[in-house]
């Protein structure tokens, strides 16, 4: 049994050390926390939304490293084709890769041990993670005509090495087909995408943002005998590594999304969720159960820096809209596909993080080589502290450097 106690701890001394002091003595900082006594009489901090929020920021916004290491640590980087003023994958990596510039991922992709593929959504991930999801068995089988088309395209790609969709279209004249968004796409592009999803092709690179394709080398049959339950557990661990701490409903929804990455194991998702709940650490805060890796200690997360960050709409810090509202008390929505008259914050509003609070958003654009900024705030106005103004100016300078706008 535990006895919960609400308390104030007065902090002084070196950073990271906490001890009670006389508030009439030296100047101190007051922290509101919860703690509990175990039956043995030992003292331990309990989890609050504040500790979980700071833990989420500390584990996701790690110290900048190399591009390869950042992708490995994130486990997955979601991609999006919109450039406003940079693509989501670049906006995500700029906070986590040293001296990162827009387009670095596309330029360096052929040299990295990563692939483009569908996971819980579409993006970039280590080849070792992609291998866990293949060979895929999509729910829809190809009719004989489609199989014949795919085989012909596969032979064409194998003969040419790397191909651009227009080369395939020119050779086979597949015509046009209706895409997911209701528009018209070249049928050859849809076939190439379907072949990539099924593991016949891989993305070799991009030319001006357009994917090029090559034949995917099939793994040795001996190495494909992965136990499905173990593979699902490994995929769930990638989810948790990227998005923790996760509310229980969010964890369940993300595991549900594995139907796209591993459709052949869709029936194993519920069992994988139950196993995850047993092996992950958890805490219940305000009636909501949260999960994170068992070896992590959320209460030891560092204090947030005096820094402003403009985050991508799909950055792992803000991706889970349920968690966003729990942490910051307001609703953020991605409105690029919302009709303009109905938008509340803008076409591609970037959440604005100050210290450990998302206090607003920014819509950025480049006009005549200059970065244009349109800022909005939940409170209706920016913080009045001088530190905020200086931190915002530093972030906009970093953003200009990221976009290559500095001479």
User: For the segment 329-384, what is each residue's pLDDT rounded down to a tens digit?
Assistant: 999 999 999 999 999 999 999 999 999 999 999 999 999 999 999 999 999 999 99
User: Which pLDDT score, from 0 to 100, does residue 1 have?
Assistant: 36
* Chain centroid to CA 305: 21
User: Which pLDDT score, from 0 to 100, does residue 184 have?
Assistant: 59
The larger pLDDT score, comparing residue 204 to residue 170, is at 204
User: Which pLDDT score, from 0 to 100, does residue 138 have?
Assistant: 87
Strand 308-310 and strand 162-163: pairing?
unpaired
The larger pLDDT score, comparing residue 302 to residue 1, is at 302
- Give the best-scoring range by mean pLDDT among 120-124, 176-180, 186-190: 120-124
User: Which pLDDT score, from 0 to 100, does residue 332 have?
Assistant: 97
User: Which pLDDT score, from 0 to 100, does residue 170 have?
Assistant: 87
DSSP assignments along 124-174, one per residue: EEEHHHHHHT-S---SSPPPHHHHHHHHHHHHHHHHHSEE-HHHHHHHH--
Cα 84 from Cα 339, distance rounded (Å): 17
User: Which pLDDT score, from 0 to 100, does residue 154 have?
Assistant: 97
- Average model confidence (pLDDT) across the chain: 87
Strand 122-126 and strand 3-11: pairing?
unpaired
Judge contact between 65 and 45, C-beta under 8 A: no
User: Which pLDDT score, from 0 to 100, does residue 68 have?
Assistant: 98
Question: Confidence band (pLDDT; 50, 70, 90) for 169?
Answer: confident
Cα 110 from Cα 36, distance rounded (Å): 52
User: For the segment 63-87, what is each residue's pLDDT rounded down to a tens digit?
Assistant: 999 999 999 999 999 999 999 999 9
Judge contact between 324 and 352, C-beta under 8 A: no
273's enclosing H/E stretch is: helix 269-279
Could you tell me the CA-to-CA distances from 361 to 78, 93, 341, 382 in Å, in that order? 20, 19, 18, 11
Judge contact between 348 and 313, C-beta under 8 A: yes
Q: Which residues contact 108 (CB under 8 A, 6 or more apart)?
A: 67
Cα 95 from Cα 63, distance rounded (Å): 8
Determine phi and psi for 372, rounding to 5 degrees: -105, 135
Coil, helix or strand for 122?
A: strand
DSSP 266: G
First-to-last C-alpha distance (Å) of the chain = 63
Determine phi and psi for 291, rounding to 5 degrees: -130, 150
Please report the domains of the chain, with CATH numbers, ordered by start residue. 3-46 (no CATH), 144-218 (1.10.10)
Does position 36 have pLDDT exceeding 50, yes or no? Answer: no
User: For the segment 190-202, what is each residue's pLDDT rounded down to a tens digit?
Assistant: 999 999 999 999 9
User: Which pLDDT score, from 0 to 100, does residue 33 have?
Assistant: 39
Does position 174 have pLDDT exceeding 80, yes or no? Answer: no
The larger pLDDT score, comparing residue 142 to residue 43, is at 142
pTM of the model: 0.85
Q: Among all chains, which residue has been given the structure tokens 């593991």? A: 199
Cα 343 from Cα 345, distance rounded (Å): 6
User: For the segment 274-317, what is each residue's pLDDT rounded down to a tens digit?
Assistant: 999 999 999 999 999 999 999 999 999 888 999 999 999 999 99
């Amino acid at each position: 049994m535990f006895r919960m106690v609400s308390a104030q701890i007065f902090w002084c001394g070196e950073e990271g050390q906490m001890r009670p002091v006389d508030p009439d003595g030296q100047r101190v900082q007051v922290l509101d926390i919860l703690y509990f006594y175990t039956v043995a009489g030992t003292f331990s901090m309990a989890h609050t939304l504040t500790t979980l929020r700071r833990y989420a920021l500390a584990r996701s916004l790690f110290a900048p490293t190399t591009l390869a290491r950042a992708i490995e640590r994130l486990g997955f980087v979601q991609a999006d084709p919109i450039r406003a003023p940079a693509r989501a994958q670049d906006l995500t990596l700029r906070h986590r890769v040293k001296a990162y510039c827009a387009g670095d991922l596309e330029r360096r992709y052929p040299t990295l041990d990563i692939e483009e593929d569908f996971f819980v959504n579409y993006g970039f991930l280590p080849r070792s993670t992609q291998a866990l999801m293949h060979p895929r068995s999509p729910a829809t089988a190809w009719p004989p005509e489609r199989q014949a088309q795919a085989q012909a395209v596969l032979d064409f790609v194998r003969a040419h090495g790397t191909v651009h969709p227009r080369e395939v279209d020119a050779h086979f004249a597949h015509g046009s087909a209706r895409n997911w968004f209701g528009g018209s796409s070249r049928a050859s592009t849809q076939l190439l995408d379907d072949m990539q999803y099924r593991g016949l092709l891989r993305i070799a690179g991009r030319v001006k943002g357009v994917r090029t394709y090559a034949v995917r080398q099939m793994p040795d049959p001996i190495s494909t005998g992965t136990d499905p339950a173990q593979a699902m557990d490994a995929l769930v661990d990638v989810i948790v590594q990227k998005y923790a701490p996760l509310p229980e409903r969010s964890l369940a929804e993300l595991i549900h999304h594995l139907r796209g990455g591993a459709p052949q194991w869709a029936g194993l998702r519920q069992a994988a969720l139950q196993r995850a709940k047993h092996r992950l650490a958890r805490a219940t805060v305000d009636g909501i159960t949260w999960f994170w890796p068992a070896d992590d200690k959320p209460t030891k997360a560092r204090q947030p820096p005096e820094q402003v960050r403009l985050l991508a709409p799909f950055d792992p810090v803000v991706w889970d809209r349920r968690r966003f509202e729990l942490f910051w008390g307001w609703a953020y929505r991605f409105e690029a596909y919302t009709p303009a008259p109905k938008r509340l914050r803008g076409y591609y509003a970037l959440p604005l993080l100050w210290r450990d609070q998302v206090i607003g958003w920014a819509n950025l654009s480049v006009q005549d080589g200059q970065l244009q900024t349109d800022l909005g705030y939940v409170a209706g106005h920016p913080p009045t502290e001088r530190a905020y103004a200086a931190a915002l100016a530093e972030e906009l300078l970093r953003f200009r450097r990221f976009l290559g706008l500095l001479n």
